[in-house]
């Protein structure tokens, strides 16, 4: 066929899914006769030129496809910013073929781009799980494995995983192979991850780890996100996981005082004592749930404890009930030790203590 006619054939084939009216208009536009239309289909049994490759009117086609939700988690860290030292950051990427999907996934690809603050040379592969199949990838930067899924599934699971130190990304590619042909199964109902109607049969994970670059400045954010693709479906991004580098070893500054600091008279009554002070940190910030107070009673009887709620500027104030009593033979009186402790977002701890005394007599 002349090159010009071949180009026209290509244009005509492109339009075959259109209606008969649209096809007739294109034929007229190209100046094709029915004979030339037939030249576009040089195989036996050319299609009906009125509507090439049409299905019979009573035949119903139902498309089938896999469907992927996803999630990603990383190191929890400390405090709302997820403060970490950066020594080792473990990550897990979750994927699932929803129960509402109409077919198992035959190809799954995952790409994770490493944050600029991560040292790509420290990145390593971890575990891979697809349905009920667990595969250890060897803690290196490259892995290639093939697992026979028979007899439960007539397919092989081929896994290729790599850390690309140039592109700064990690990729996992999981593929179903027909054991007889070594190609994708021709049956769309044969795959490596079925619809998740019997959890965790339709679920999977990949894990990896990496460390922050040496000398990463304090307060540097490390964000991480993965992209997951099932078969020909559009790629789906996971949520973004974020942490902040905190390497300082300086503990928070804590101050504490108690009023009254002396309980008199020793009449056995419970007295409200106000404990106040400040908790400050110039580095990663105070862990809001890490500030606590405790009372140690010399007699081991009255020893309240609890959380410290911080106000603006790191100020706090709370009340404790202490007993105004002491033994008659206690010459130096009864001592309560009140300690306030705090933790910053890097896990550094600071504390301060003050004392409340029930003296033997008012002059001491």
Contacts with 251 (C-beta within 8 Å, 6 or more apart), sequence order: 281, 344, 348, 349, 350
Q: What is the mean pLDDT of residues 195-221?
A: 94
Q: Are residues 277 and 317 in the same domain?
A: yes
In a domain, residue 364? The reply is no
Range of the domain at 203: 70-245
Q: Are residues 161 and 268 in the same domain?
A: no
> Which pLDDT score, from 0 to 100, does residue 160 have?
98
In a domain, residue 348? The reply is yes
Q: Please determine, for residue 81, whether its predicted confidence score (pLDDT) is greater than 90.
A: no
The CATH number of whichever domain residue 339 belongs to comes to 2.60.40.1930
Confidence of residue 38 (pLDDT cuts 50, 70, 90): very low
> Which pLDDT score, from 0 to 100, does residue 283 have?
66
Q: What is the mean pLDDT of residues 332-356?
A: 92
> Which pLDDT score, from 0 to 100, does residue 284 have?
64
In a domain, residue 39? The reply is yes
In a domain, residue 12? The reply is yes
Contacts with 275 (C-beta within 8 Å, 6 or more apart), sequence order: 256, 257, 258, 293, 317, 318, 319, 320, 338, 340, 354
Domain stop point among 245, 280, 307: 245
Q: Please determine, for residue 347, whether its predicted confidence score (pLDDT) is greater than 70.
A: yes
In a domain, residue 45? The reply is yes
Domain tally, the chain: 3
Q: What is the mean pLDDT of residues 51-73?
A: 51
> Which pLDDT score, from 0 to 100, does residue 258 have?
98
> Which pLDDT score, from 0 to 100, does residue 364 have?
54
In a domain, residue 363? The reply is no
Instruction: Find out whether 346 and 309 touch, Cβ atoms under 8 Å.
Output: no
Q: Are residues 258 and 138 in the same domain?
A: no
Q: Are residues 111 and 161 in the same domain?
A: yes
Q: Are residues 95 and 220 in the same domain?
A: yes
Determine the Cα–Cα distance for residues 118 and 213; give it in Å rounded to an integer.
Answer: 5
7 SS3 class? helix
% of the chain beyond a pLDDT of 90: 67
Instruction: Find out whether 346 and 283 touch, Cβ atoms under 8 Å.
Output: yes
Q: Please determine, for residue 103, whether its predicted confidence score (pLDDT) is greater than 90.
A: yes
Q: Are residues 33 and 94 in the same domain?
A: no
Say what the pTM is: 0.60
Q: Are residues 89 and 151 in the same domain?
A: yes
Question: 109 versus 24: which is more confidently predicted?
Answer: 109
Instruction: Find out whether 334 and 357 touch, Cβ atoms under 8 Å.
Output: yes
Q: Are residues 167 and 127 in the same domain?
A: yes
Q: Are residues 220 and 266 in the same domain?
A: no
Q: How many CB atoms lie within 10 A of CB 271?
A: 15
User: Which parts of 31-70 fold into alpha helices (H)?
Assistant: 34-39
Mean pLDDT, the chain, rounded, equals: 84
Q: Are residues 56 and 205 in the same domain?
A: no
Q: Are residues 282 and 338 in the same domain?
A: yes
Rg, C-alpha atoms of the chain: 35
Q: What is the mean pLDDT of residues 10-39?
A: 45
Q: From residue 46, how far is each of 1, 24, 54, 139 by CA, in Å? A: 16, 17, 12, 56
12-26, 49-63, 200-214, 262-276: the lowest-pLDDT one: 49-63
Q: What is the DSSP string of 167-228?
A: TTEEEEEEEEE-TTTSS--SSTT--SB--SSSTTTTEEEEEEEEEEPTTPPTT-EEEEEEEE
- Phi first, then psi: give them for residue 14, nearest 5 degrees: -60, -25
Confidence of residue 111 (pLDDT cuts 50, 70, 90): very high
Q: How many CB atoms lie within 10 A of CB 246?
A: 26
The CATH number of whichever domain residue 147 belongs to comes to 2.60.40.740
* Residue from 118, 281, 297, 272 nearest 210 by CA: 118
Query: How does strand 241-245 pair with strand 83-84?
Result: parallel
> Which pLDDT score, from 0 to 100, does residue 312 have?
87
In a domain, residue 124? The reply is yes
> Which pLDDT score, from 0 to 100, does residue 363 have?
64
Domain stop point among 245, 274, 299: 245
Q: Please determine, for residue 126, whether its predicted confidence score (pLDDT) is greater than 90.
A: yes
Instruction: Find out whether 131 and 174 touch, Cβ atoms under 8 Å.
Output: no
20 SS3 class? helix
Q: Are residues 76 and 221 in the same domain?
A: yes
Domain stop point among 226, 245, 264: 245
Confidence of residue 61 (pLDDT cuts 50, 70, 90): very low
In this structure, what token pair is assigned to residue 96?
């699932």
Confidence of residue 60 (pLDDT cuts 50, 70, 90): very low
In a domain, residue 170? The reply is yes
């Amino acid at each position: 066929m002349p090159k010009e006619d071949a180009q026209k054939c290509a244009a005509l084939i492109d339009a075959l899914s259109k209606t008969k009216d649209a096809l007739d208009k294109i034929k007229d536009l190209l100046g094709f006769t029915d004979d030339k239309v037939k030249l576009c289909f040089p195989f036996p049994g050319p299609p009906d030129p009125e509507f090439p490759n049409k299905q019979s009117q009573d035949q119903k086609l139902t498309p089938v496809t896999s469907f992927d939700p996803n999630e990603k988690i990383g190191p929890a860290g400390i405090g709302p910013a997820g403060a970490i030292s950066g020594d080792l950051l473990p990550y897990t990427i979750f994927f699932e073929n929803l129960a509402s999907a109409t077919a198992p996934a035959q190809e799954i690809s995952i790409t994770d781009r490493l944050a600029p603050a991560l040292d790509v040379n420290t990145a390593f592969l971890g575990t891979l799980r697809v349905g009920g199949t667990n595969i250890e990838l060897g803690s290196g930067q490259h892995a290639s494995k093939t697992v026979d899924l028979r007899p439960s599934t007539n397919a092989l699971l081929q896994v290729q995983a790599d850390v690309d130190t140039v592109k700064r990304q990690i990729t996992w590619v999981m593929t179903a192979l027909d054991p007889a042909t070594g190609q994708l199964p021709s049956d769309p109902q044969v795959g490596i991850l079925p619809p998740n109607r019997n959890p965790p049969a339709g679920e999977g994970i990949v894990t990896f780890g990496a460390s922050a670059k040496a000398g990463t400045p304090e307060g540097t954010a490390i964000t991480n996100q993965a992209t997951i693709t099932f078969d020909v479906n559009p790629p789906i991004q996971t949520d973004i996981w974020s942490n902040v580098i905190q390497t300082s070893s300086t503990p928070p500054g804590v101050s504490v005082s108690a009023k009254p600091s002396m309980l008199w008279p020793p009449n056995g009554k419970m007295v409200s004592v106000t404990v106040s002070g400040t908790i400050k940190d110039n580095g990663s910030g105070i862990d809001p749930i890490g500030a606590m107070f405790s009372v140690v009673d010399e007699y081991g009887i009255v020893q309240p404890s609890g959380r410290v709620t911080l106000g603006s500027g790191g100020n706090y104030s709370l009340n404790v009930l202490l007993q105004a009593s002491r033994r008659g033979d206690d010459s130096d009186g009864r001592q309560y030790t009140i300690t306030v402790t705090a933790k910053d977002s890097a896990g550094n701890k600071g504390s301060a203590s003050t004392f409340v005394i029930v003296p033997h007599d008012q002059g001491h």
